Amino acid sequence: MVEISDYLTAPHWSSDIPLTTDHFRVDALAEHGYAVLRDLDPEISEKEFLNLEYMDWKSGGDTNFAPIATADGNLDCRGFWKPGDEKPDKGGQWTTNAEQCPSLVACVEEVGADFGRVRVIRLAPQSYEEALRQIHRDDNNRFNPEDQGWVVRQWIELTDNPGAFMILMEQGPDGLPDASTEVRIPFHRNVRVVVDTQRLWHVVCNPSPTMRYALITSFESSPALADWIFANRC
Ligand SMILES: [Fe+2]
């Protein structure tokens, strides 16, 4: 078991993000905080994600992001929390990138749930140890009223990166990830997983020699999202 204190220093900004709220949540994520779905079929053509407009934005390692839906449709990774115009991570508007990736757009729209940020992440190779230094929780529900649905995230893996996996850990009583709860979700092209990334500390390790690409979408929990997860679970 890894010693988290070797990788993270306390206090960590993630520890202050709320865990317990009154938002509506889907039952499928209640026990473990994640649900692995059946692989995407058919797969997404490389031309839909390699040629998008990527921005320099660091999250979870050496990353770039291609925004496909944002708060206002502009190519801006920060949009939802713009000072003076703060919005929860939903009601996403398609950007110019969306015109280049109709199959990715269809993957989001078929769910039938409200979505916020939609983007393709490009993650450079990073070892397990390097990844652990980037493990964090997301502030998905900032500005999201508690009488509405809890925002969670879906991943669709777009490339094969041998040895890649997502690391998930529950938060321990000290406010840091509890290594005894570690789960590893093996990644290959077409893996789909929905993760409560505000609850679980998470990061992806990519020990392969090539860039990893994945679609990440913020979805608001709702009966429609619950039904879709149920219909697509392994
Ligand atoms: Fe994250």
Interval between CA 135 and ligand 1 midpoint (Å): 8
Whether residue 59 lies inside any domain: the answer is: yes
Interval between CA 65 and ligand 1 midpoint (Å): 13
Interval between CA 171 and ligand 1 midpoint (Å): 14
pLDDT tens per residue across all 234 residues of the chain? 899 999 998 999 999 999 999 999 999 999 999 999 999 999 999 999 999 999 999 988 999 999 999 999 999 887 788 888 899 999 999 999 999 999 999 999 999 999 999 999 999 999 999 999 999 999 999 999 999 999 999 999 999 999 999 999 999 999 999 999 999 999 999 999 999 999 999 999 999 999 999 999 999 999 999 999 999 998
Whether residue 9 lies inside any domain: the answer is: no
Angle CA(202)–CA(208)–CA(211) in degrees, nearest 5? 80
What is the span of the domain harbouring residue 151? 24-74+87-232
Query: How many domains is the chain built from?
Result: 1
Whether residue 226 lies inside any domain: the answer is: yes
Judge whether 80 and 90 are in contact, CB under 8 Å.
Answer: no
Whether residue 7 lies inside any domain: the answer is: no
Interval between CA 38 and ligand 1 midpoint (Å): 22
Query: What does the buried/exposed string (b/e) look like for 175-202 if buried means 16 or more CB atoms within 10 Å of the residue's CB?
Result: ebbebeebeebebebbbbbbbbbbbbbb
SS3 119: strand
Whether residue 79 lies inside any domain: the answer is: no
Cα diameter, the chain: 45
What is the phi-psi region of residue 143: left when phi exceeds 0, alpha when psi lies from -120 to 50, beta otherwise?
left
What CATH number is given to the structural domain containing 225? 2.60.120.330
Interval between CA 77 and ligand 1 midpoint (Å): 13
Whether residue 161 lies inside any domain: the answer is: yes
Interval between CA 141 and ligand 1 midpoint (Å): 13
Angle CA(118)–CA(193)–CA(198) in degrees, nearest 5? 70
Whether residue 130 lies inside any domain: the answer is: yes
Whether residue 10 lies inside any domain: the answer is: no
Quote the distance between the C-alpha of residue 8 and its chain's center: 21
